[in-house]
Structure 1
Amino acid sequence: MNSIRQYHWFLIVTIFLVTIITLLSDNTVNAIQCWQCNSMTDKFCEDVPTDVNNLHDCYKKMYRECIDENDKLNYTFCRKQVQTIDEETRIIRSCGFIRSPVDCYWTKSPPTSTLVCQCDGDGCNHAFTAIINTGYSLFILPCIFAMVRFFFVPNLFHIIH
């Protein structure tokens, strides 16, 4: 009887997790806005504000909609690169259309090294984003604790007694 109860809780938690992840990962965006600049040509690109409301004039030209003039690219996410060439570092913020399988990665080819991170959502390339989105963790962590409670803790009590 206890194993049937555990199986039912497992199904409930699994369905809940799949539903939440599916809802949160729906990133279909018609037009995304990203920070688009290069610190080599614009010093304000190094540190952009997180709040895009009421931007100062020096930032307004850098925060804009991702548009392809030839309508061949479908920009769906933002990107931030920190590139070092011969000990000179620059920051490049841009729109992206081909995703990497990982959110952040390094490329190194001396004398150049580049850290590239991609993210979803308007203006998200103001900084490097965490691998686990806080929205996901707010739903996933309680589910993980519930699974641990119903699957592992009862078994521990049976082993101890």
Structure 2
Amino acid sequence: MALAQFTSVMLSIMFFNTTEAIKCFDCNSRNNSACLEMHIPKMHAIIPIVDCAETMGNSIHKKEFFCRKITQTILDPDHTPEVRITRGCGWVKSKRQCYKADNMDHLETVCQCFGDLCNGATPQHVTVTVAATVASLFVAFRSWRRSV
């Protein structure tokens, strides 16, 4: 019985973390080059963190906020393409974790995530973390069933 309770608590924590009080990294690599390099240790320390409900709650009411990372490749026929990354809060959810948009002047990938400061990680990192947690719970459950 204890394993079943542990499993439900872990799953609740993993999947029930969409709250209005979510905190996200907030930056744009156009004016803060550290926004590009979040995978490098200690870069998180120089990126602003915002509470989405406090920052956006007055202008966008009754929304479940989440974190978002937008990667844009700016296309200019006269210049080398430039990659920009914007991290911040989102409020209109997509059905997909990430989606792409191709426009005449830029290519864009938008990824959403639902845990505090999750927009500092790459989407693959977030997916691997969730998959590893689910796999661990599955192995623990199978071991427990065999012992019963």
Superposed pair shares fold, TM > 0.5: yes
TM-score range relative to shorter protein: 0.5 to 0.7
Q: In terms of Rg, which structure is larger?
A: 1
Query: TM-score normalized by structure 1?
Result: 0.62
Task: State the one-letter code of the partner of 2:36.
Answer: E
Q: Which of 80, 100, 110 is the aligned partner of 2:104?
A: 110
Counterpart check, 1:140 vs 2:135: yes
Deviation at 1:23, TM superposition (A): 4.8
Where do 1:74-113 residues align within 5 Å?
Answer: 74-86=63-75, 87-113=81-107
Query: Contact (CA 8 Å) 1:52, 1:123: kept in 2 or not?
Result: no
The structure-2 alpha-carbon separation of the partners of 1:143 and 1:92, relative to structure 1 and needing over 3 Å to count, comes to: same
Q: Distance in 1 between matches of 2:62 and 2:92?
A: 9
Query: Contact (CA 8 Å) 1:32, 1:76: kept in 2 or not?
Result: yes
- Structure 1 stretch 31-40 or stretch 124-133: which is displaced more? 124-133
Where do 1:1-161 residues align within 5 Å?
Answer: 19=8, 21-48=11-38, 55-56=45-46, 59=47, 62-66=48-52, 67-68=55-56, 69-72=58-61, 74-86=63-75, 87-130=81-124, 132-140=127-135, 143=138, 146=142
For structure 1, the 5+ residue unaligned runs are 1-14, 151-161
SS state at 1:81 partner? strand
Percent of residue pairs bearing the same amino acid type: 29
The structure-2 alpha-carbon separation of the partners of 1:50 and 1:78, relative to structure 1 and needing over 3 Å to count, comes to: farther
